[in-house]
Structure 1
């Protein structure tokens, strides 16, 4: 499990990805309102699998469900993401749900390297790379690299990615 700060940071990265995908779908709306909804939905979704486990209706605020079970189920988040994406043109608020689901998926990806793993399909699966709270910088950097790549593809037509590939192929230093 990544730390709470890492989930917040990767939630912002998921927000950038969601906003770019909403814009790419051509459903960003006036002044990018729907892209903004996707951004804010993903920020909330980045920590959602953890706070959805808390029984907010009780005084004790204990977990109503075991940690990393139903709220961390990969198929549920992926299905929500797909449904919301396909609903973007029909429902103005679907962008918020799409962002929320993207944030939830990013949360699962951040938890995946932990030995406890996450239940993607059936049972838990783990990459078994490091323990909770360790290597958060790697998780955050990977999320932001993915966000930069998606944003570059959508808003800059991949010009930065192509430039970097050309530099690497040429074997010369970046100047």
Structure 2
């Protein structure tokens, strides 16, 4: 599990991605209001798999469900993301649900490298790269790089992405030939 701060930071990145994709789908609305709302929904969704486990109706606020079970199920979050993306431009609730589910998927991606893993289809899967709370910087930087690439694609016509790829191809590492 990534730290609470890492989930907030990756939730912001998911919100930026969602807002850009809502605008790209033509569902941004007047003054990009739906894109902005999907950004905040992404932030909320970035922490949702954890706070959805809390029993808000009880005074003790204990977990009503075991951690990383139903609320961390990858298939449900990906289905919600795809369903809301297909509804963009047709339903008024779609940008909010798209941002929320993008944050949820980003949360699962941030939790995936740790040994506890997340339930994707039937069983729990882990990349087993590091323990909880370690290397949060890698997760946060990766999510923000993805947000910058998506935003560059949507708003700036891939100008910076193509320049970065061109720079990477010019590095000596890419010109090595295997014999």
TM-score tier (shorter): over 0.9
1:41-80 alignment to 2 at 5 Å?
A: 41-80=41-80
Question: Which residue pairs with 1:143 in the alignment?
Answer: 143
Q: How much does 1:143 deviate?
A: 0.3
Aligned residues: 172
Residue-by-residue CA offset, 1:123-163 (whole Å, 9 max, x unaligned): 10000000000000000001001111111111111100111
Q: Does the 8 Å CA contact 1:34/1:93 hold for their aligned counterparts?
A: no
Question: Which residue pairs with 1:165 in the alignment?
Answer: 165
Q: Distance in 2 between matches of 1:170 and 1:119?
A: 40
Q: Distance in 1 between matches of 2:159 and 2:95?
A: 26
Gapped regions of structure 1 (runs ≥ 5): none
Q: TM-score, normalised by structure 1?
A: 0.96
Q: How much does 1:92 deviate?
A: 1.5
Question: Which residue pairs with 1:13 in the alignment?
Answer: 13
Q: Distance in 1 between matches of 2:37 and 2:112?
A: 27
Q: How much does 1:109 deviate?
A: 0.1
Q: TM-score, normalised by structure 2?
A: 0.94
Gapped regions of structure 2 (runs ≥ 5): 173-179
Q: What CA RMSD, in Å, does the superposition of the two structures yield over aligned residues?
A: 1.0
Question: Which residue pairs with 2:109 in the alignment?
Answer: 109
1:83-98 alignment to 2 at 5 Å?
A: 83-98=83-98
Q: How much does 1:89 deviate?
A: 1.4
Q: How much does 1:87 deviate?
A: 1.2
Residue-by-residue CA offset, 1:84-105 (whole Å, 9 max, x unaligned): 1111112122101100000000
